[in-house]
A and B are shown apart, each in its own frame.
Chain A
Amino acid sequence: MNEPDDHEPLGRGPDDHEPDDQLGDARLSRRQVLGIGLVALPCLAGSVLVFDWLTKLTDTGATENTEPIVAGYDPATHRWGFVVNTNTCIGCGLCVVACKDENHVPEEAEYSRTWVERHTRTANGTIVVDSPEGGINGYEPDTAPVIVPAAAVTDVRFVPHLCMQCEDAPCISVCPVGATFHTPDGIVLIDQDRCIGCGYCIVACPYGARYIVPAGGNMPGGVPGVADKCTFCYHRITTGRRPACVEACPVGARAFGDLNDPSSSVSVILRDKPTMILQGALGTKPRVFYVGLEGEPTA
């Protein structure tokens, strides 16, 4: 190892100082300049192209997106909301079927954009929650979970679940690559070309609304290994239609509409009926509201 001389500043040897008369030799000839240019310009152009390609690969501008995602649709003028009426829901499971059909969601219950839970209240006040097969097969009338004796049942209520499209969504803040984002109309979407499949958003979602798309026949968006969840059927609502589950519900237990429009069904319900949000204490500000869950603990 070469130790620097004690009297010399660290890292600068005597040879570091170039004599002035050698500066003339350091001038470049025209040929050298041309040579450098011939090498540097393609390198520079290549770097710009690679950078541009990487930028396109990773940045869809989604986090700060103000461009309309769907042509002719202005997201800034809408603020979508969803109301679930548990007084009306009969637990038929048609909404789950419609969702899976519409969005090519895998059939297994663990991969669901929406599912229906059964809340069975017993005589001692306990609420037993179950959701066999995510409720896709529907619940038989007058049945209760196997662990609850029929005589002990005082009330059965069906509670459909879906992504809450939270205003302060934990799934957005935890995503390390910004693949989950808010649209201006308040929907939480996932950029499937950017998601890395780390599962952090799935762990962070307090509503259990997300899953990783398994490779196979049914893959929402056709991309395996990325996070997926309910989008309020964004491809439908941006073209003037209602979400598939809302259309499929035979009893009108699911209502969808624009919260900016005072005459929309959701605005009317929110104005006229007492509603609640799930796990409000977490401060996630869900855009899905529930009717008929009074008396149930919200954790």
Chain B
Amino acid sequence: MTTVTVAGRELALSPRVAYRAARAEVARTPRALKAWYSLLLVVMAVGAVGAALTIAPGSEVFGTTPSFEWGILISAYVFFAITTSGLCLGSSLGTVFGIDMFLPFEKRHAILAILSLTTAFGIIALDLHYPIRMVFGAVFNPSVSSAMWWMGVFYGVYLVFLVVEIWSMFFGHDDIHRYACLASSCTAVLAPSTLGAVFGMVFAHTYWYGIFTPITMLVTALLAGTALLGIVFYVVVRLELAGFERGRRLAIPAVRILLTVALVGSLILLGRLVLDGLTSDKVAFHGATMAMINGPLALPFWVRLLGGLVIPLILISLPRTRTVTGTGVASALAFVGVLMDRLLFVSAGQIIPTTAVGGVVSQTYVDYMPSLVEISIVAAAFAFVAFVYTLAERYLDLREGDAHEPFHLPGFIGKPLARLTDRRAKPEPLEPGDQLTGGQA
């Protein structure tokens, strides 16, 4: 009988054996984990119904209008897409540059990144009326003047690099893995920048327009990706999952460093945006800024600013809260904060109605309320990532891999970097206890 070995287990490729194995596995699964799976499956089922309603082109199941064309599905797409990039940006310090403290991110970031990216693609496919046509159109009729086309190219290539990265990582092709990590890390810079350009090149919406939009997208990508790693490693350490010792010793401090950089960067960029908006003579830009400070977007704006930026920064700055729990809470707050920021970003850009001739419009703000279909799809997207990642955490060997040799860089970069990395402690050999995954424990 044909068998396949996964994480040291020999699995038979036979329906009957697989069914029996699945039943035994379900019986073995802890009750709390079953409840977690059930919750996620229910949310995904509701989202699947919502997704089915969007399939017919032109179906009006979203709360969007021509005045507010991009709703929360676009926000969610942007969020998952930049999270993918952020995951690779942070972990590239370990996988590409060989800095020890970032090495524990290696496998978990890759799993999360590919999940996040496929989720982003799923969401955008549901938002488009003709997604199949997009694939053929983008390949056979490329429009190089369109930032959206470039974004599609970079994220499409990114997915390929991530697949190769994961394949080489789990099947031990170390050389290929190093190249794949380098390629995906480079794409992790290009892709969110181009995604920012999709908005930043739209001069019809002055809130989005400008060079700072791609930069902001890149910094918030780092924030989102790091925050997600922070949440995951908090759970890993708390539940003592695979590699938790090195997670506690290296990953949590690494998350704190990256979070600090990303939070400070995000605060500076937000401050610049608000000041620019308040002093702008552009009706839409000034109006959108006022909508955030003291208008219909004020609640999410202030909650995001305080809860998603300031409080996390305080938590990881104060010695008393600079703990595993403090880092976990700060990461969770920052993660939700970036999600709110994406919602705010997409909303604020469209909240002032487009008027051909300046002046005061009788309707100050454009109304938009996401429909239940949109909400169910976004919720299902999060459930999907959580569900598949839980399976990965349980059944895959997520201890960091062996491909730790840094990529050979040109001397003028490589030598200073090597001196930097040599000063850091070498990773200690894994302890036997670290080898236990949740499923094997």
Contact = CB atoms under 8 A, between A and B. Distances in A.
Interface stretch (A29-37, A71-79, A91-99, A198-206): A198-206
A197 B11 CA distance: 44
Contacts of A219: 58
A208 B65 CA distance: 11
A225 B354 contact: no
Contacts of B283: 299
B59 interface: yes
B204 interface: yes
Given A215-B59, A296-B359, A177 B141 contact: yes
Contact of B137 (A119, A178, A293): A178
Contacts of A259: none
Contacts of B354: 205-208
A55 B140 CA distance: 7
Contacts of B353: 208
Contacts of A117: 355-357
Interface string B97-138: 000000000000000000000000000000111110110111
A62 B72 CA distance: 33
B47 to A, nearest CB: 21
Contacts of A199: 64, 69-70
B358 A54 contact: no
A288 to B, nearest CB: 10
A10 B175 contact: yes
B66 to A, nearest CB: 4
B148 A206 contact: no
A297 B172 contact: no
Contacts of A225: 56-59, 129-130
Nearest to B350: A203
Q: Is the interface of B mostly helix, strand, loop or mixed?
A: loop
Contacts, number: 190
B143 interface: yes
Interface string A179-221: 1000000000000001111111011111110111111100100
Contacts of A129: 355, 357, 359-362
A170 B201 CA distance: 10
Interface string B31-43: 0000000000000
Nearest to A120: B362
B203 interface: yes
A10 to B, nearest CB: 7
Nearest to A159: B357
Interface string B169-187: 0011101000000000000
A44 B153 CA distance: 27
Interface residues of A, number: 65
B357 A196 contact: no
Interface residues on B, range: 35 or more
Interface in A50-83: 54-55, 57-59, 63
Contacts of B128: 196-198
B58 A211 contact: no
B275 interface: no
B137 A179 contact: yes
B361 to A, nearest CB: 5
Contacts of A206: 203-204, 354, 356
B321 interface: no
Contacts of A297: 357-359
Nearest to A226: B129
User: Which of A57, A146, A176, A210: most chain B CB closer than 10 A?
Assistant: A176
Interface of A: 1, 10, 54-55, 57-59, 63, 110-111, 117, 119, 126-130, 145-147, 159, 161, 170, 172-179, 194-200, 202-208, 210-216, 219, 223-226, 278-279, 282, 293, 296-299
Given A174-B201, A204-B204, A226-B57, 20 more contacts: A55-B140, A110-B66, A111-B66, A126-B360, A128-B362, A175-B146, A177-B133, A177-B137, A178-B141, A179-B137, A196-B129, A198-B148, A199-B69, A199-B70, A202-B69, A207-B356, A212-B129, A215-B60, A216-B58, A299-B282
Interface of B: 56-60, 64-67, 69-70, 127-131, 133-134, 136-143, 145-149, 152, 171-173, 175, 198, 201-205, 282-283, 350, 353-363
The 10 closest A-B pairs by CB, nearest first: A224-B58, A197-B129, A225-B57, A225-B129, A177-B137, A215-B58, A127-B359, A297-B358, A299-B358, A206-B204
